[in-house]
Amino acid sequence: MKRDLNHPSQPITRLARGVALGGLFTAGLAMSAGAQALTVISFGGASGDAMEKAYYGPFQESSGIELTPGDYNGELSRIRAMVETDNVSWDLVEMESPELVRGCFEGLFEPIDWERLGLGDVLIDSAFNDCGVGTFVWSTVLAYNADELDSAPTSWEDFWNVEDFPGKRGLRRGAKYTLEFALQADGVPASEVYDVLSTDEGVDRAFAKLDEIKEHIQWWEAGAQPPQWLVAGDVVMTSSYNGRIAAAQEEGTPLEIVWDGSIYDLDYWAIVAGSDYVDEAYQFIEFASQPENQAVYSSEIPYGPVHPDALDELDDEQARRMPTHADNLDGALAMNTAFWVSYGEELEQRFNAWAAQ
């Protein structure tokens, strides 16, 4: 039976450049040095470290606004509880796109006033959202330990091939990403994955494919786990955030990425409804959207900037590590946010019941 699916996620494209931002940016940073702390919550880890260098420290220095960083694992329920109890202690949060859209519908985030933000139309198309401002493009990829395998895997079909590639596999504990990878392993082209997954038969097909390797799966819940498990030899290959693998590679580990069949998406800044520091949050978002600051972030961890000019400040080697590089987008799948907003809760419930069996 066909499900109702209307709005597939759009590939990344450039928008026309807007007006110069210098004057707007300078005016937006006018703030007394005695302001209380703005609390900014991210997913932490290597990305959080990059944000500290590119955004948090420089923003405090240039604006005089105190900033308190923190991290979480993307739980929308924590934000919902704050808003519903009128006990909001977080001001600005990093959100994945399906949770952002769902939270926006529930009234958990402040609607973005794009004129107030003063960024014009210079960001990539996908960065514009009713309740969020895109901050970087990232991918969930297939990663492996080259020292643990006799030959290199090249696809999700290889990930499922436990005879030629023996050993434990890591997958994120959840339906999102996992079901898409299962269908690709079953021969569905990336361009057709959401068409198939939008049918009951397609969902059954994905779970049946997962059944084939269930006993070989080690489920991860935090982004730091996949590279740690690969280095320790706990798994021979795993799904992972590309930036986490890149950080491990820089430490000299023998980890490699397969870009074909990866899923890319954006993370967004969202202002929690009821925050007492909305003005400061807007100032931070504007600061973090400047190309020179985005270039610093992307040079620290290879997540693609949303301001096209930032790419001009990266060298060729850095640019080739980005999910947004043309070679890495070839064969990649854009996260279909509308699909997961519509069916995410239903599929996550089914996944949790299946995983518990």
Within 8 A by CB and 6+ apart from 152, the residues are 144, 146, 256, 258
Query: Which pairing describes strands 133-145 and 237-241: parallel, antiparallel, or unpaired?
Result: antiparallel
Altogether, the residues listed in the chain come to a count of 357
> Based on the domain organization, do 260 and 296 belong to the same domain?
no
> Based on the domain organization, do 50 and 173 belong to the same domain?
no
Q: 71 pLDDT band (50/70/90 cuts)?
A: very high
> Based on the domain organization, do 60 and 116 belong to the same domain?
yes
> Based on the domain organization, do 143 and 27 belong to the same domain?
no
> Based on the domain organization, do 169 and 249 belong to the same domain?
yes
- The percent of the chain in helix, strand and coil, each rounded to the nearest 5, is 45, 20, 35
**How many Cα atoms within 13 Å fall on the side-chain side of residue 256?**
14
pLDDT digit string (tens) for 302-357?
999 999 899 889 988 888 888 988 889 889 999 999 999 899 889 999 999 999 99
In a domain, 13, yes or no: no
- Count of domains for the chain: 2
Does residue 34 surpass a pLDDT of 70?
no
DSSP 249-274: HHTT--EEEEEEEEEEEEEEEEEBTT
In a domain, 90, yes or no: yes
Q: What angle do CA 106, 108, 111 make, to 5 degrees?
A: 95
DSSP state at residue 207: H
CB 174 within 8 Å of CB 263:
no
Phi, psi of 263 (to 5 degrees): -120, 125
User: Tokens for 165?
Assistant: 């590639």
Tell which residue, 346, 299, 354, has the closest CA to residue 3: 346
Characterise 50 by phi-psi region: left (phi > 0), alpha (psi -120 to 50), beta (else).
alpha
pLDDT, the chain, mean: 89
Give strand pairing partners of 266. Answer: 137
In a domain, 16, yes or no: no
In a domain, 14, yes or no: no
User: Domain range for residue 159?
Assistant: 139-264+333-356
Residue 62 sits in a domain whose CATH number is 3.40.190.10
**How many Cα atoms within 13 Å fall on the side-chain side of residue 227?**
23
| Residue whose entry in the numeric block shows the structure tokens 């491990």 | 248
pLDDT digit string (tens) for 199-242?
999 999 999 999 999 999 999 998 899 999 999 999 999 999 99
Q: 36 pLDDT band (50/70/90 cuts)?
A: low
Q: What is the pLDDT of residue 11?
A: 39
% of the chain exceeding 70 in pLDDT: 90
The residue with greater pLDDT, 286 or 33, is 286
In a domain, 245, yes or no: yes
pLDDT digit string (tens) for 88-133?
999 999 999 999 999 999 999 999 999 999 888 899 888 999 999 9
Run of H or E including 10: none
In a domain, 30, yes or no: yes
> Based on the domain organization, do 194 and 270 belong to the same domain?
no
In a domain, 193, yes or no: yes
The residue with greater pLDDT, 344 or 79, is 79
> Based on the domain organization, do 347 and 240 belong to the same domain?
yes
> Based on the domain organization, do 144 and 245 belong to the same domain?
yes
> Based on the domain organization, do 207 and 288 belong to the same domain?
no
> Based on the domain organization, do 272 and 228 belong to the same domain?
no
> Based on the domain organization, do 286 and 344 belong to the same domain?
no
In a domain, 8, yes or no: no
Rounded to an integer, the average pLDDT of 242-262 is: 94
Rounded to an integer, the average pLDDT of 25-43 is: 61
> Based on the domain organization, do 30 and 72 belong to the same domain?
yes
DSSP 60-95: HHHH---EEEEE----HHHHHHHHHTT-----EEEE
